[in-house]
Structure 1
Amino acid sequence: MGEPDASAATMLASDFAALPDLIRAHGRERGDKPAIIFGERVVSYAVLDRLMDDIAFSLQRDGVEPGDAVAILGPNMLEYLLVFLGTLRAGCVAAPLAPSATPEQLAAMVADCGAPILFHDAAHAIDVPVRKVYLEHLLDWIDEGVPAPVRIAPGDAFNIIYSSGTTGTPKGIVQPHAMRWVHIGRAPGGFGEAVTMVATPLYSNTTLVSVLPTLGWGGTVVLMAKFDARDYLTLAEKHRGTLTMLVPVQYRRIMADPEFDRFDLSSFTLKTCTSAPFPAALKADILARWPGLLVEYYGMTEGGGTTALVCNAHPDKLHTVGKPLEGQDIRLIDDDGREVPQGEVGEVVGRSGAMMTGYHGRPDATDAATWYDEAGNRFIRHGDIGRFDEDGFLTLLDRKKDLIISGGFNVYPSDLEAVLVTHPDVVECSVVGMPSEQWGETPVGFYVGAGEPAEILGWCNAKLGKTQRLADLVRVDALPRSAIGKVLKRELRDRYSA
């Protein structure tokens, strides 16, 4: 285990190091280096280390104790990230909340995590019976001081991330410091010189798996307040970005910018993608026009198993999400919990050193998300349906809950979407299952683009099997998406029902 006063290199080579201790070491060793850039504001590692101390000291002053949750609500802003990191320095648990949730959901999440304090911006004031601090007035709340030292153990909770539920209260996913250490420790050493472009929300695990390793290794985070394709390209060229984690809809908008090819992106060494289906044609376009490696990761906020596809090395496997990373045990099981042979379809379950402790206060949900093999090893159910090919690459077919059973036949929406999107008038699409008196369920498609729905429907159904054919096709101005680009199929179902 790394010692808090050891060098950053020593800690990074150890069995475990806590992120606050790594940032302190970088503050000592490379204090003038920019840690965070937000617009015209630049925070060096020395200043970041001092601000984390001040925030931790102020939390302790207000009676917030190690192990307590600290709720954070707001858009991407410098103060948000400072509070997140200062919370960790105090030995507390960061609980970032999604601004897209309803006030009722947000209040329920604050109550669920038991946070005695909520940091929020002026646009997201909610009525909760805890102390509230405006992020815009963070410096007024802070007192300068040295916090009481806190020893962080691998099993201590690092953060609670709430799942993106569209009804009811999202489940709180408790991730320990050990899980975050795996994310930091398995990052290549080049992260120390990384300039990481961040254009996804800070409350999302998608964002944290690139921000935290960058800070752990002593790189620079360039934080955008909100995503805009042209602004992203401008900032990436200005700061000589080397690394980025984007979701597919962001890549699509960036690549579609008519001025894309005039921007100098030659500094990029690594681009990654996760969180939503990443079309093979889009991957191929990025490979052809944007320098550097392109890697797609597949995994869950809850942890479990992770796969990676290095697209540059496997241009013939762009339809897959790659192979399991080293140390990741991923298997496929049937509805009875039995493993299926290679080549057959099954539900994805995964096991690794990066796994959630469980859902906060929800042992029933934790049990439902767990599968054990014959040796008693714990796996997490991913909720996806997939198939391993003969080379060990995993192809995802669909979310298990989105599987359509029509007339007793399994219909995978992704198969239908793959055909529909090849029509020249279709820009993007989604297929959902709707109730049917005749078939039990029947597939209905939604698309963004031109052309007449009836003509495209006939064209698509002529290419599909008899049991796959779409019952209806609806043109929409845009597909409803979460903040990290996942299509909200429930909203499509509700819209069609209405």
Structure 2
Amino acid sequence: MNLSMILEMAASTGERAVATVGNRTLTAAGLDALARRAAAQFRNHPAVLYLGSNHLAYPVALFGSALAGVPFVPLNYRLGEQQLGALKAKHPGALVLEQEDLDALVDDSYATGDPEPPLEPQWDGDTVAAIIYTSGTTSDPKPAILRHRHLLAYVLNTMEFGSAAETDASLVSVPPYHIAGLTNLLSNFYTGRRVVYLPAFDPQVWLETVRRERVTHAMLVPTMLARIVTALGDDTADAPTLASLAYGGSRTPRPVLEHALRAFPDTGFVNAYGLTETASSVAVLGPDDHRTAFDSTDPAVRDRLGSVGRPLPGIEIEIRSEEGEPVPAGETGLIFVRGEQISGEYGNRSVLDAEGWFSTRDLGRLDTDGYLYVEGRSDDTIIRGGENIAPAEIEDVLLAHPGITEAAVIGVSDTEWGQRIVAVLVGDGDPDEIRQWVKERLRSSKTPDNIVFRDELPKTETGKLLRRTLLAELEATHA
């Protein structure tokens, strides 16, 4: 099993459009020719490092690497020179594709002339397909190993080949070094949906692109979704072709989601939960669940807007206590997942247990109907006076306050309580009134000890809160 089989299947459609950036579109046959030409160059290197933005060269480089039998390593090109240098040093001899190299990779003349000898890809599913460095929001980035069998299991278990209409188009705004960027490409090519790349995200450009390209499917991280609904204000989106809008990658504030559901009344929303180590999504809250919950007056049903749905085919989810024992439905514990697509491997080290379970290090719970609720990272748990407190619970209450647009709750060292609860907020309001707001909805032990206002919160390019950065700053301030 090799990712190149997806390229071969797509190439069988001939002149069908498969990828668009700006005014240029690649056909399936054209991409196949470019990828095979690139593979002839790639096979003399131990890996291919991709240091560019969303570009037509991205699928060429990915499938070229698969054909050449070498790992594809998309790196965050926005990192500083020192950080990038350290990552490059981990891959001696690798071919490095910088932004300025990408146009040449898709130059029409590049795929002309005498054809290269046909390449026979390595069909061993255990061969490394991609190495993606985790975002490192709570620790240093780790090299997550994704083998061909992991990525193909995700695609084959969740998608139907050729199921998309020829007019279908998927707008991809997430960066190429994110797992969603890679798996979006694979799933769209497999279903036959044209991929429209947005090199840099801007809410107005995103909306204009949806309308101009008649986009039917799109995927966003929560920060992008928040910027779009802010740009729309009270207006509806005027995006009649948009049938599906997926979001994920981090927690989405409930007010943002509800605003989006009003702004896109005819669009089906999909919340996808997954990690780099799980080769993309492992659970999904689908369109029907979104609309049922949004329209319901039953608090228990409406609360499902805060869930990430149920496991995808081929995925098992188990909630365990700190002692490693399964807990009953409704109880919070550590989220473990198991399935063919789960890698759970960093470098040469597997972190799967003896039965193949992977600890996501996320806290969560399953309700009696199998819906998964993610309550934050286990590393983020605040221990105040011996009580374990999940920041997500307090953040949700804070975000319901009319003056607050963003919230991060952090535990800061304290000699009396072990940790103090500090709420860092974007917005405005009286700190004492905000603390009372939380106290009335939760209890005293979960009320922030301190309220801090900021113009913005530190985040990664994909919208994940950089808690370790915020904690370091707060610890210094508190000290």
- In the superposition, the TM-score normalised over structure 1's length comes to 0.85
Gaps of 5+ in 1: 1-15, 123-133
Is 1:42 equivalent to 2:25 in the alignment? yes
Matches within 5 A, 1:266-415: 266-290=240-264, 291-303=266-278, 306-313=282-289, 314-315=292-293, 316=301, 317-356=304-343, 358-361=345-348, 363=349, 366-367=350-351, 370-372=352-354, 377-415=355-393
Q: Is the 8 A contact 1:340 1:346 kept in 2?
A: yes
Residue 116 of structure 2, aligned match among 131, 138, 146: 146
Q: Is the 8 A contact 1:191 1:213 kept in 2?
A: no
Q: Is the 8 A contact 2:53 2:77 kept in 1?
A: yes
Q: CA shift at 1:115, angstroms?
A: 4.8
Q: Partner of 1:187 in structure 2?
A: 159
Note closer, same or farther for the CA distance 1:113–1:257 as it changes in structure 2 (3 Å cut). same
Q: Partner of 1:437 in structure 2?
A: 415
1-structure distance, mates of 2:347, 2:142? 7
Moved more, 457-466 or 201-210: 457-466
Residue 90 of structure 2, aligned match among 93, 107, 112: 112
Note closer, same or farther for the CA distance 1:430–1:310 as it changes in structure 2 (3 Å cut). same
CA deviation map 1:78-97 (0-9, x unaligned) = 23342222222212110011
2-structure distance, mates of 1:306, 1:230? 31
Is 1:171 equivalent to 2:161 in the alignment? no
Gaps of 5+ in 2: 294-300
Instruction: State the identity as a percent.
Output: 28
Q: Partner of 2:297 in structure 1?
A: none
2-structure distance, mates of 1:108, 1:378? 32
CA deviation map 1:291-343 (0-9, x unaligned) = 23211111211118812112433412112111222321111111121222222
Q: Is the 8 A contact 1:237 1:263 kept in 2?
A: no
CA deviation map 1:260-304 (0-9, x unaligned) = 846532222222121101233333333333223211111211118
2-structure distance, mates of 1:357, 1:55? 30
Q: Is the 8 A contact 1:108 1:169 kept in 2?
A: no
1-structure distance, mates of 2:429, 2:367? 36
Q: CA shift at 1:491, angstroms?
A: 1.7
Q: Partner of 2:34 in structure 1?
A: 51
Q: Specify the code of the residue in structure 2 equivalent to 1:307.
A: A
Matches within 5 A, 1:206-221: 206-221=180-195
Q: Specify the code of the residue in structure 1 equivalent to 2:255.
A: A
SS in 1 for 2:413: strand
CA deviation map 1:136-178 (0-9, x unaligned) = 5446895854253223222221100011125875211111111
Q: CA shift at 1:192, angstroms?
A: 5.8
Give the number of aligned pairs.
Answer: 456
2-structure distance, mates of 1:169, 1:73? 19
2-structure distance, mates of 1:45, 1:326? 28
Structure with higher RCO (Cα < 8 A, 6+ apart): 2
Q: Partner of 1:99 in structure 2?
A: 77
Q: Partner of 1:125 in structure 2?
A: none
Q: Is the 8 A contact 1:333 1:347 kept in 2?
A: yes
Tell me which stretches of 4 or more aligned residues in structure 1 moved more than 6 Å.
none
Is 1:21 equivalent to 2:5 in the alignment? yes
Q: Partner of 2:173 in structure 1?
A: 199
Q: Partner of 1:130 in structure 2?
A: none
Q: Is the 8 A contact 2:144 2:345 kept in 1?
A: yes
2-structure distance, mates of 1:256, 1:26? 38
SS in 1 for 2:250: coil
2-structure distance, mates of 1:274, 1:410? 26
| RMSD across aligned positions (CA) | 2.4
Moved more, 220-229 or 148-157: 148-157
